[in-house]
A and B are shown apart, each in its own frame.
Chain A
Amino acid sequence: MAYTEEELKKELETKEYEYGFYTDIESDTLPIGLNEDIVRAISKRKHEPEWMTQWRLEAFAAWKQMEEPEWANVHYKKPDFQAISYYSAPKKKDKYESLDEVDPELLETFNKLGISIDEQKKLAGVAVDIVMDSVSVATTFRDTLAEKGIIFCSISEAIKDYPELVKKYIGSVIPIKDNFYAALNSAVFSDGSFCYIPKGVRCPMELSTYFRINQAGTGQFERTLVIADEGSYVSYLEGCTAPSRDENQLHAACVELIALDDAEIKYSTVQNWFPGDKEGKGGVFNFVTKRGICHTNAKISWTQVETGSAVTWKYPSCILKGDNSIGEFYSIAVTNNYQQADTGTKMVHIGKNTRSTIISKGISAGKSQNSYRGLVQVNPKAKNARNFSQCDSLLMGNDCGAHTFPYIEARNNSAQIEHEATTSKIGEDQIFYCNQRGIDTEKAIALIVNGFSKEVLNKLPMEFAVEAQKLLEISLEGSVG
C-alpha cells in the first residue's frame, strides 16, 4: 500500500507525542530538531515565566523567516539546524576517571599554559573528588559581591529572581530580529550569565564565568546580560585560555552590555575553542552577536583574543547613544591551519562628542583566512564625533589570506575619522637579528608577534594577558616554514 502524505503527517505527529514533551520525566537531552514545541520545552524545563516563553516563541517565529547570512568572508558547510539537540542538561557525566586517560596533546598544552593540576582536571572533564581551591575562592567572592549589592548569577536564576531587570533589558540592545543567529539564540538559549552592578559601585574584582563553578558547562547557546547602573564600573572576563574540546559544532552566543550614565564596562574575551585538526576537519563554528549600548558619559571597552574555532563570525559593537560616550575595541585574531575568521566591530555614533577607538590585529598562518570587517557610522546629530581605527595584518606563509573590509559612513561635517590599515609579513631582517642574538626562529617569531599585538595585549587584565601571550605562541606553533 502506498504511503500517503497524510499518513506520514499522522505518523510524525504521533512520533512527536511519543517523545512526550509535556511529561515530567527527567531526561538529559531533548530530541534533535527545532520547532515551537522544543522552544516551549526548553522554557518549561528551565521553569521560566510565561513572558519569557512568549519572548522565545516570538524570536523563533522571526528566526523561521530569516535566512542564514552569507555576506561574511567565510566558507563552510552550513549546519543543519534540524539535526541539533537544543537542550542538554548541564550536569554531564565526567568523561574520564583520571588524568592518564586524557589526550596527552591536550595535557601538554595545559602545561605550557601553566595551569594547575586541579584546574586541568576540571577543564578536561576529569572527576575531581577533593574540594578544589577555586570553589572556596568562588564562595568568598560571592560574599564580597553580595555585600556590594552586585548580582552575579546565571541568567536562568536571574529570570526567576530578578524578572523586572531581565524583562527590561534583555533584547534591548540585540533585538530578537537582529540577525539570524541572534534570533536563534533568543529562541533556544540554554543558559548564560547575568550581572548587575548597582549605582555608583565599583566592582572590586574581575568578574568571570570561570569562578561560577556551577556554570562550568556553558552550552551552545549562551546568553549574557551585563547591566552597569549609573556611575558603576565592572570588568568582565569571558572564556578561558585553556583549549576546550567542546563537542558542540555550533555556538551562537549573544552578549548584551548596558552601560547607563557614567558607567564603564570592560569586557574581555579569550576564545580558544577547538579549531579543527591540521587538515581542517571538525572544529567549532562560532557565530556570536555582541553589542553594548552606552548612555551619557558611559564607556564600553571590548577586548578580544580569538585563537580558536574553525569559523568565527563575531562583531562586538558599541552603540554610542549618550553624549560624551566612549567605545573601544581591541582585538587580536589568530588563524592557523584551515581556520577562518571574519571579525571586527561596529561603532555607531549617535550622541554628541562621542569617541571610538578600534585597534585590530590579525595574524594569519597556515592555510587560514583572516578578515577584519568593521563599520564606523556617524549620524547627523553626532556632533564632534571622533574615531580612530587601525587594522594591521600579519601574514605568515604563502597559503593564507588577510582581508580588511572597513565601512565608514559619515553624515556630519564635524566628525573626524581616521582609518588606516597595513598588511605585511614578518621581516626577514627582524628574524635574522634575533637569530644573531641566539634566539631561535620559533622564539623570534613569538617575540615579533607579541610585539605586533602588544597594543591589544596591554588592554587585557593582568592574569589574562600573561596567558594570552603564551596562547599566541602555542597557536602559531609549527607555522614557521
Chain B
Amino acid sequence: MELKEKMLSSFMVLEQELDLSSPVHDIRSESLKTFEEKGFPTNKLEAWKYTSIAKLLKNDYSLFPKKETTIELKDVKKYFLYEIDSYKVVFIDGIYSPFLSDTTHDGIDVCLLSAALSKPKYKKIIDKFFNQVADKEENLTALNTSFAKEGAYIYIPKSVVAEKPIQIIHFSTGEQGDFMLQPRSLVVAEENAQVQIIERHQSLAEHAVWTNAVTEIFADKNAIVDYYKIQNDRHDASLVDNTYIAQQSSSNVKVHTFSFGGKLTRNNLNFYQKGEHIDSTMKGITIIEDQQHVDHYTLVNHEQPNCESHQDYKGIYSDKAVGVFNGKIYVDQIAQKTNAFQQNNNILLDDKATINTKPQLEIFADDVKCSHGCTIGQLDEDALFYLRTRGIPKKEAKGLLTYAFANNVLESVAIPALKTRINKLIAMKLGVETGYDL
C-alpha cells in the first residue's frame, strides 16, 4: 500500500480514539482533505526543487506505536542538556514519558498538547492559537495537522519570565520497526513574557524513522522567545521540521538550528511579522558528511513597517553531502523602513559535495534596506599557509579554520551550557582539539 493511502486509512483508526465533537477535529478533517488533494511534495514544486523525499516514501512506516517502550535515563542522559536545571517534555515513540519529563503548571504551563486539546481550561487558548499560523495549504504541514495529537504545549502568561529553559526531546527507539512521528507543539508567550526552548529529535537504534514535526510559536508584544533546534541524529533518521512563528509588536524571536546529522533534514522556518518594531533572527550551522542532506527553507514575511530580520546560515559539507538553502524575504507594500539581512556562507570540503542555494528577495516597499549575500568557496589558502608556518599540521589547521568559520553563529546563543555543548560538538565534528575548555 502506498504511504499516502496508508495515511488516509490510518486517519480512521486515529478517529476512534479522539473526541470527534471538538472543533480541533474539524481542523484535522479539513487538513486531511488538503493532504489528500495535494499528496506528498515532489520535485516539481518549486519549494522542493532541490530536496526529494521520494526515498522516504518507500519505507513501510508504522504510524502508531504498537507498545509502550521505556528507556533508562542513563542510556539517554547524554542527549539532555543535563548540566543545567530545566523543564523537560520527553516523548518516546510519540508517547509522553512522565518518568523522563519534568513539567509544570506553576505560573507557566509546560505540559502536553494532548492535555491542552482535551481539557476545557485550555480551550480558550487552543481556539485562539491552534493551527492559526501554520500554513494550511502546505502538504506536509497539513498532514501533520490532520494527525496532530501529541507534542509539547508551552504557555507563558503576561509578564512572566520562565526561570529555566525548557527541553523538548522526541526519542525513537526502533522497537516499533520503521516509524513515522508527527509531533505537534504549540508555544505561546504573552505580552512581556520570556522563554528559552531547546528541541531535539533523537533516534536510538537502527531503523528508518521519519519525523514530520510542526511547531507554532506566538510571541505577543515585547515577548522574547529563544528557540534552539539540535539536529544530530543517526544516519537513518529523517526530519521535516516545520516551524511557524507569529510575532506582535516589539517582540523578539530567535531560532538557532544546528544540523549535524540525519539522513534527510528539511527545516521549514516561517516568520510572520504582525506588528511594528519586531526583531526576527534565524541562524544556523550545518556540518554534514557522507550522503546526508540538509535543507533550510526560510521565509520572513515583513507585513508591517519598522521591523528587522537577520539571517545567518553557515554550511560545511564533506563527502557526498548535499546542502540546500532557500531563503525568502518578503516585504509588503506597507512595510516601510524594513531592514532585512540574509547571509549564507558555505564551504565544500570534498569533490562530491553539493550545495544549492537560492536566496530570494521580494520587495514591494521602497524605503527599505534589504540585502542578501551568498558565498560558496574553500578555506583561505593564505590563512592555511600562515597556520602551517606556525607549525600547525595541515589537518589541524584546516579544522581550526572551519571551526572559526562556523563559530561566529554561536555568539548569539544565550544559554552558556548549550553554547559549550554545541562548541564541543562542532570541534568533534571537525576533528579539532581546541585544547582549552570552551
Interface of A toward B, CB cutoff 8 Å: 71, 380, 393, 395-425
- Residue contact B361 to A419, C-beta cutoff 8 Å: no
- Residue contact B373 to A424, C-beta cutoff 8 Å: no
- Residue contact B370 to A410, C-beta cutoff 8 Å: no
B52 lies within 8 A of chain A by Cβ: no
B433 lies within 8 A of chain A by Cβ: no
User: Contacts of B360 on A, CB cut-off 8 Å?
Assistant: 403-406
CB-CB under 8 A for A400 and B372, given A416-B377, A416-B378: no
User: Contacts of B376 on A, CB cut-off 8 Å?
Assistant: 408, 410, 415-418
- Residue contact B366 to A413, C-beta cutoff 8 Å: no
CB-CB under 8 A for A402 and B348, given A422-B370, A425-B368: no
Instruction: With CB as the reference atom, state the residue of chain A lying closest to B365.
Output: A398
Instruction: With CB as the reference atom, state the residue of chain A lying closest to B377.
Output: A416
CB-CB under 8 A for A421 and B368, given A409-B354, A413-B351: no
- Residue contact A419 to B359, C-beta cutoff 8 Å: yes
- Residue contact A419 to B375, C-beta cutoff 8 Å: yes
Instruction: With CB as the reference atom, state the residue of chain B lying closest to A377.
Output: B356
**Contact pick for B372, options A404, A414, A425, CB 8 Å:** A404
Beta-carbon contacts under 8 Å, B369-400 to A: 369-378
- Residue contact A406 to B370, C-beta cutoff 8 Å: no
Give me 5 other A-B pairs in contact (C-beta within 8 A), A410-B355, A412-B348, A417-B376 excluded. A398-B333, A413-B349, A418-B375, A423-B370, A424-B370
**Contact pick for B369, options A406, A413, A424, CB 8 Å:** A424
Chain B interface residue bracket vs A = 35 or more
Closest 9 A/B residue pairs (Cβ)? A413-B348, A395-B366, A417-B376, A419-B374, A423-B370, A401-B364, A425-B366, A416-B377, A404-B361
Instruction: With CB as the reference atom, state the residue of chain A lying closest to B359.
Output: A406
Q: How many angstroms between the C-alpha atoms of A406 and B362 in the bound complex?
A: 12
Instruction: With CB as the reference atom, state the residue of chain B lying closest to A373.
Output: B360
User: Contacts of B352 on A, CB cut-off 8 Å?
Assistant: 380, 411
Q: List 16 A-B contacts (CB under 8 A).
A: A395-B366, A398-B367, A399-B333, A401-B364, A403-B362, A405-B358, A406-B359, A408-B356, A410-B348, A410-B356, A413-B378, A415-B377, A417-B374, A418-B377, A420-B373, A424-B368
Instruction: With CB as the reference atom, state the residue of chain B lying closest to A417.
Output: B376
Min Cβ gap A422→B in Å is 5
B73 lies within 8 A of chain A by Cβ: no
B46 lies within 8 A of chain A by Cβ: yes
B353 lies within 8 A of chain A by Cβ: yes
Min Cβ gap B347→A in Å is 8
B212 lies within 8 A of chain A by Cβ: no
- Residue contact A414 to B366, C-beta cutoff 8 Å: no
- Residue contact B369 to A420, C-beta cutoff 8 Å: no
B357 lies within 8 A of chain A by Cβ: yes
**Contact pick for A421, options B46, B350, B367, B371, CB 8 Å:** B371
Min Cβ gap A416→B in Å is 5
- Residue contact A413 to B353, C-beta cutoff 8 Å: yes
User: Contacts of A71 on B, CB cut-off 8 Å?
Assistant: 46
Min Cβ gap B344→A in Å is 9
CB-CB under 8 A for A417 and B375, given A423-B361, A423-B363: yes
- Residue contact A423 to B371, C-beta cutoff 8 Å: yes
Beta-carbon contacts under 8 Å, B26-57 to A: 46, 50
User: Contacts of A420 on B, CB cut-off 8 Å?
Assistant: 371-374
- Residue contact B350 to A408, C-beta cutoff 8 Å: no
Q: How many angstroms between the C-alpha atoms of A395 and B364 in the bound complex?
A: 9
Min Cβ gap B265→A in Å is 19
Q: How many angstroms between the C-alpha atoms of A398 and B305 in the bound complex?
A: 13
Taken residue by residue from 337 to 348, chain B's Cβ proximity to chain A (1 for < 8 Å, 0 otherwise) reads as 000000000101
User: Contacts of A409 on B, CB cut-off 8 Å?
Assistant: 50, 354-357
- Residue contact B374 to A406, C-beta cutoff 8 Å: yes
- Residue contact A419 to B349, C-beta cutoff 8 Å: no
Q: Which of B46, B364, B376, B378 has the most CB of A within 10 A?
A: B376
Min Cβ gap A338→B in Å is 15
- Residue contact A414 to B363, C-beta cutoff 8 Å: no
Q: How many angstroms between the C-alpha atoms of A421 and B374 in the bound complex?
A: 9
Min Cβ gap B432→A in Å is 19
Instruction: With CB as the reference atom, state the residue of chain A lying closest to B355.
Output: A410
Q: Which of A380, A406, A423 has the most CB of B within 10 A?
A: A423
Q: How many angstroms between the C-alpha atoms of A417 and B346 in the bound complex?
A: 9
- Residue contact A402 to B361, C-beta cutoff 8 Å: yes
Min Cβ gap B297→A in Å is 14
Q: How many angstroms between the C-alpha atoms of A411 and B50 in the bound complex?
A: 13
Min Cβ gap B296→A in Å is 14
Beta-carbon contacts under 8 Å, B207-246 to A: none
User: Contacts of A400 on B, CB cut-off 8 Å?
Assistant: 364, 366
Min Cβ gap A312→B in Å is 18
Min Cβ gap A339→B in Å is 15
**Contact pick for A402, options B50, B353, B363, CB 8 Å:** B363
User: Contacts of A406 on B, CB cut-off 8 Å?
Assistant: 358-360, 374
- Residue contact B365 to A415, C-beta cutoff 8 Å: no
User: Contacts of A396 on B, CB cut-off 8 Å?
Assistant: 366
- Residue contact A413 to B350, C-beta cutoff 8 Å: yes
User: Contacts of A401 on B, CB cut-off 8 Å?
Assistant: 362-364
**Contact pick for A403, options B50, B357, B361, B367, CB 8 Å:** B361
